[in-house]
């Protein structure tokens, strides 16, 4: 479907006898109440893991919950920017496969490309996802704050919820010396990679706040935000991705009380279709990139799917303000 718009839980382990004796409450029903206040409310499906095993009836025939509940995105609604192709589209499809009922794919072109159209048809045919598996395309500019806010509100009005945001839109300009880097080009990179990420997070976060169900905001950072890229003068890109890391940490601290989690994923070199076209003309660069990864290769877009679904789901309910390397060990040297 194509749509155009204008413009936690953690389980407290059993406390030792010495520590329990110091608790300012008795070890009765009030204990469970106090511990519940400390660890937050249970998800709708209740206890999982060891806590569930200890409470289940001896005559019960339990079934696994790890994928049916913790990792499930059933009935969830998501907004993914930069999702016409590449990493954004890969993550949008992963959310559908995990059960999300609708994933709104926002990108700059007025109409989606052939890659998106094929993926959309594939998503419609998926069986057993636990949701409707609906992808929707939105034409929008992430650097237009008002338009992005309107996109978020329109999705909220239509769906009645907002659960997930993946800010994946970004640009990388060619090699340019830092001493002669054009200010106009630098501003363009910052507008998309920093302001655009903020405006996307705001669009979704406002709706998460509106409905009061919490949510997960995932920003795509980069190994380039942790250090310079050997052999590449990418001052603007590296600066922008470093800003994304700090933005996520700051927002995580501010939004934590509302159960809105904010995290980042830092990929290393990923072989998207755009990257492949670049490397086809620069084979020496491909060799250099491969050597910089302990795994001896660069990554595939699908290798980001697991991290994205984990961060979007209850499986990561005690995780916020963190960055996750999906880098083939790039940063481990």
Residue 309 burial (CB < 10 Å; 0-12/13-18/19+)?
buried
Judge whether 77 and 101 are in contact, CB under 8 Å.
yes
Active site residue 330: no
For the chain, counts of helices (H) and of strands (E): 12, 7
Element (H, E) at 154: helix 145-159
- Residue 70: CB partners within 8 Å, gap ≥ 6? 48, 313, 314, 315
Q: Note the residue count of the chain.
A: 333
Tokens describing residue 274: 């755009």
Which is it for the CA torsion 72, 98, 276, 109, positive or negative?
A: negative
Strands (E), 113-205: 134-139, 164-167
Annotated active-site residue in 104, 137, 241, 330: 241
Tokens describing residue 178: 């830092």
- Which residues lie across from 263 on neighbouring strands? 218
Report the distance separating Cα 105 and Cα 137, nearest Å: 5
Active site residue 241: yes
Judge whether 269 and 299 are in contact, CB under 8 Å.
yes
Annotated active-site residue in 4, 153, 181, 237: 237
Q: Specify the long-range contacts of residues 238-246, CB closer than 8 Å, at least 24 apart.
A: 239/190, 240/170, 240/189, 240/190, 240/192, 240/193, 240/194, 241/193, 241/266, 243/190, 243/193, 243/194, 244/193, 244/194, 244/197, 244/219, 244/220, 245/221, 245/323
Report, as residue numbers or ranges, the catalytic residues.
237, 241
């Amino acid at each position: 479907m194509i749509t155009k718009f204008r413009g936690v839980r953690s389980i407290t382990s059993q406390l030792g006898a010495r520590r329990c004796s110091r608790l300012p409450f008795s070890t009765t029903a009030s204990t469970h109440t106090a511990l519940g206040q400390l660890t937050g409310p249970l998800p709708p499906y209740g206890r999982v893991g060891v806590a569930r095993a200890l409470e289940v009836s001896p005559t019960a025939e339990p079934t696994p919950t790890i994928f049916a509940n913790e990792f499930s995105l059933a009935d969830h609604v998501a907004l993914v920017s930069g999702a016409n192709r590449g990493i954004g589209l890969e993550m949008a499809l992963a959310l559908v496969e995990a059960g999300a009922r609708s994933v709104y794919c926002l990108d700059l072109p007025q109409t989606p490309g052939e890659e998106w159209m094929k993926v959309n048809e594939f998503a419609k045919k998926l069986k057993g996802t636990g949701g409707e598996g609906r992808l929707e395309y939105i034409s929008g500019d992430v650097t237009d704050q008002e338009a992005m806010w309107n996109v978020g509100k329109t999705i909220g009005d239509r769906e009645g919820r907002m659960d997930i945001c993946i800010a994946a839109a970004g640009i990388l300009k060619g090699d340019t010396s830092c001493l002669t880097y054009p200010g106009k080009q630098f501003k363009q990179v910052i507008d998309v990679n920093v302001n655009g990420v903020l405006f996307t997070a705001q669009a979704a976060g406002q709706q998460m706040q509106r409905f009061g169900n919490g949510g997960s905001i995932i920003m795509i950072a980069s190994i380039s935000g942790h250090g310079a890229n050997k052999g590449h003068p990418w001052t603007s890109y590296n600066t922008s991705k470093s800003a994304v890391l700090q933005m996520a940490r700051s927002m995580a601290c501010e939004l934590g009380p509302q159960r809105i989690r904010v995290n980042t994923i830092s990929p290393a070199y990923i072989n998207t279709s755009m990257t492949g076209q670049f490397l086809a003309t620069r084979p020496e660069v491909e060799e250099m990139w491969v050597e910089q990864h302990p795994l001896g290769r660069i990554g595939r877009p699908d290798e980001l799917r697991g991290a994205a679904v984990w961060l979007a789901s209850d499986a990561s309910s005690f995780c916020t303000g963190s960055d996750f390397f999906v880098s083939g060990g790039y940063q481990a040297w």
